[in-house]
Amino acid sequence: IHINPILRRLAPERQALTIEEQSLVIITGASRGFGRAVAEALCQNLVSEGSCILLMARSQAGLEATAQSLKTIQPNSIKVQCCRIDLAHPDETVFRTSIQEALSKFEGDLKQFEQAVVVHNAGTMSPQGLMTWHCSKSTDLAAYFAMNLSSTMVLNSVLHEEIFAQVPKAVVVNVSSLAAVEAIISWSLYCTGKAARDMYFKCLAQECPQYRVLNYAPGPLDTDMIAEVLADPKIHPEIQKIFEELVQQGNLLQPKTSADKLAQVLKADEFVSGSHVDYFNL
Amino acid sequence: IHINPILRRLAPERQALTIEEQSLVIITGASRGFGRAVAEALCQNLVSEGSCILLMARSQAGLEATAQSLKTIQPNSIKVQCCRIDLAHPDETVFRTSIQEALSKFEGDLKQFEQAVVVHNAGTMSPQGLMTWHCSKSTDLAAYFAMNLSSTMVLNSVLHEEIFAQVPKAVVVNVSSLAAVEAIISWSLYCTGKAARDMYFKCLAQECPQYRVLNYAPGPLDTDMIAEVLADPKIHPEIQKIFEELVQQGNLLQPKTSADKLAQVLKADEFVSGSHVDYFNL
């Protein structure tokens, strides 16, 4: 068998990590839907006394509702901060300042944390319903990749310097999708962005074998996005039919169900770092 | 086994096509290196009398040199046109006008062609040597994805409307890389862009089962890029070591060798449309 000679050089040694206490947890898109469910699931299952959770999103009201929910789950033992951030316009300086300000509100030192857990959940599907041959507006493409790709890369770079490098362990979760690995009609923009994000985090795992990096595809979720997909006349009929059937057959997942599974996967700590793990493969 | 319910719906029926005569061939990045080798290989192995080849790139001198080489291979029976285009700044209108002007120079009707063969070869690696945590300059990321991702999508969208839709058959080749499927240290930008491009063309295959779409990874080639990799102090030592070994052991492929293999793959017409095919897997 011929093997690409570069391939032989790509297997780094990996250090196993375990999820422990005293975490600094950061979640983007935490104001609603799956992001909120992940915040709740991690709060319930993973973090212990003295942990801090930083919720990031555009909507202050949504962030505060998520924070309120977390306080119900763990009334006294954890600290929660909200950080308004606009991921549609990635800017290193703005991201860095926002994170530094948010961290300063925890009134502690990063050294207190045994690990950082980051969940890159934020993402959009719009513009919807573009066939591959409708991807002709470069400004639309640029805006989509800024929001769904560059923004995540810039934020992760800033988090790497500001946080990962300061704590003993880093767990980095990318909220991926089946669309990262399978082509879906009229969703080429979404598929392309998700495939690219998966690869970025696969590279992070390659470059930082001491981290635990997971591309988690949460399955089809019962969130606001579904209502948008069913209502939008620009959505391809094939896609609408898929989701209509999912709704009719009760096959949509509750965000909590998939978020709890994510928490279990992190707790079990058996995934290959950098791999793509689907809810349905667990 | 649990199967993601969306997955069951994603297998379209495919129509087999065969490579035939009277082709309109379009190649980007055709002014040098692998693009020129592909132009020569297709000219030698695939196209027949009455075919037209459109060479696209920024460098007029490079395009003319490639055109000259093609005329040596097939002196009379094919027409060659050069089209200067700047893929770093994707613009639907500019791309459409450039293609319409170039086609008009062939002085024929698109109806004369039995098929269109497009090879999306253009791409850059710069900025080199960025670790995943150095991907913090959003303008650099935007420029990279404009050149290596959006540009290909915009051009393919325009080609779809202007050409693919007007001819009986379309064969679309994306020049991919091992980096589209494997994470490589300090190459996250390159890996991310290549993974995204692969997925875009996988979606094209999904949406257009009547097309033949191939993501072809040509292997490590002996082109100008190698000299750049070896000379640039910003390149990661791990990467330089890999390429130094390839050079020392004579394991770099000549562009012609890999381009000829691509021509064979297209001629054999046995690949799964939308799949990623590596030189070393053939």
Residue pLDDT, tens place only, B144-200: 999 999 999 999 999 999 999 899 999 999 999 999 999 999 999 999 999 999 999
pLDDT at A7: 52
Tokens of B231: 């000379």
Q: Is B40 on the interface with A (CB under 8 A)?
A: no
pLDDT at A19: 47
Chain A hits for B278, Cβ within 8 Å: 4
Backbone angles phi, psi at A260, to 5 degrees: -65, -40
Mutate to test the interface with A, among B99, B118, B136, B249 (most CBs of A within 10 A): B136
Tell me: pLDDT of B138 over 80: yes
Q: Is A92 on the interface with B (CB under 8 A)?
A: yes
Tokens of A77: 């033992």
Q: Which residues of B264-280 are buried (b: 16+ CB within 10 A; e: fewer)?
A: ebbeeeebebbebbbbb
If you average pLDDT over every residue of chain B, what do you get? 90
Asked if omega into B5 is within 30° of 0 (cis), the reply is no
Mean pLDDT along residues B71-93: 92
Of B3, B153, B207, the CB nearest to A185: B207
Q: Are B4 and A219 in contact (CB under 8 A)?
A: yes
Q: Is A245 on the interface with B (CB under 8 A)?
A: yes
Residue pLDDT, tens place only, A140-185: 999 999 999 999 999 999 999 999 989 999 999 999 999 999 999 9
Mutate to test the interface with B, among A2, A3, A4 (most CBs of B within 10 A): A4
| Cβ contact B204–A132 (<8 Å) | yes
ipTM of the complex: 0.92
pLDDT at A13: 44
CATH classification code of A17-221+256-277:
3.40.50.720
Residue pLDDT, tens place only, B19-76: 446 899 999 999 999 999 999 999 998 778 889 999 999 999 999 999 999 999 987 7
Rg, Å, chain B Cα set? 19
Q: Is A252 on the interface with B (CB under 8 A)?
A: no
What is the 3-state secondary structure of A166-231?
Answer: HCCEEEEEEECCHHHCCCCCCEHHHHHHHHHHHHHHHHHHHHCCCCEEEEEECCCECCHHHHHHHH
Tell me: pLDDT of B14 over 50: no
pLDDT at B2: 54
Among B35, B211, B228, smallest CA distance to B125 is for B228
Backbone torsion region of residue B33, taken as left when φ is above 0, otherwise alpha when ψ lies between -120 and 50, otherwise beta: left
Residue pLDDT, tens place only, A209-238: 999 999 999 999 998 888 888 888 888 888
Tell me: pLDDT of B11 over 70: no
Residue type, A89: H
SS3 A27: strand
pLDDT at A5: 55
SS3 A72: helix
Residue ranges in chain A whose pLDDT is less than 70: 1-21
B 183-242: CB under 8 A from A:
183-188, 191-200, 202-208, 217, 219-220, 238, 242
Q: Measured between alpha carbons, how far is A143 from A129 in angstroms, rounded to an integer?
A: 16
Q: Is A73 on the interface with B (CB under 8 A)?
A: no
Of B157, B184, B191, the CB nearest to A135: B157
Of B145, B200, B278, the CB nearest to A188: B200
| Cβ contact A6–B220 (<8 Å) | yes
What is the 3-state secondary structure of chain B?
Answer: CCCCCCHHHCCCCCCCCCCCCCEEEEEECCCCHHHHHHHHHHHHHCCCCCCEEEEEECCHHHHHHHHHHHHHHCCCCCEEEEEECCCCCCCHHHHHHHHHHHHHHCCCCHHHCCEEEEEECCCCCCCCCECHHHCCCHHHHHHHHHHHHHHHHHHHHHHHHHCHHHCCEEEEEEECCHHHCCCCCCEHHHHHHHHHHHHHHHHHHHHCCCCEEEEEECCCECCHHHHHHHHCCCCCHHHHHHHHHHHHCCCCECHHHHHHHHHHHHHHCCCCCCEEEEHHHC
Q: Measured between alpha carbons, how far is A68 from A36 in angstroms, rounded to an integer?
A: 11
SS3 A135: coil
Of A145, A178, A207, the CB nearest to B132: A207
Tokens of B180: 């589209």
pLDDT at B17: 40
Q: Is A91 on the interface with B (CB under 8 A)?
A: yes
Give the angle subtended at the CA of B173 by the CAs of B168 and B177, to the nearest 5°. 170
- Ordered DSSP codes for A224-255: HHHHHHHH-TTS-HHHHHHHHHHHHTT-PBPH
pLDDT at B206: 95
Q: Tokens 């929660």 sit at which residue?
A: A80
Farthest-apart Cα atoms in chain A, separation? 60
Chain B hits for A157, Cβ within 8 Å: 132-136
Q: Are A90 and A155 in contact (CB under 8 A)?
A: yes
Q: Which residues of A164-193 are buried (b: 16+ CB within 10 A; e: fewer)?
A: bebbebbbbbbbbbbbbbbbbbbbbbbbbb
Of A6, A138, A219, the CB nearest to B154: A138
> Which residue spans within A49-143 are E strands per DSSP?
52-57, 79-84, 115-120
Tell me: pLDDT of B104 over 70: yes
Q: pLDDT category, B229, cuts 50, 70, 90?
A: confident
Closest chain B C-alpha to A30 CA, distance in angstroms: 22
Q: Measured between alpha carbons, how far is A194 from A123 in angstroms, rounded to an integer?
A: 9
Q: Measured between alpha carbons, how far is B88 from A56 in angstroms, rounded to an integer?
A: 33
Rg, Å, chain A Cα set? 19
Q: Are A247 and A28 in contact (CB under 8 A)?
A: no
Backbone angles phi, psi at B175, to 5 degrees: -80, 105
Q: Are A120 and A173 in contact (CB under 8 A)?
A: yes
* In chain A, domain spans: 17-221+256-277
Architecture of domain B18-221+256-281: 3-Layer(aba) Sandwich (3.40)
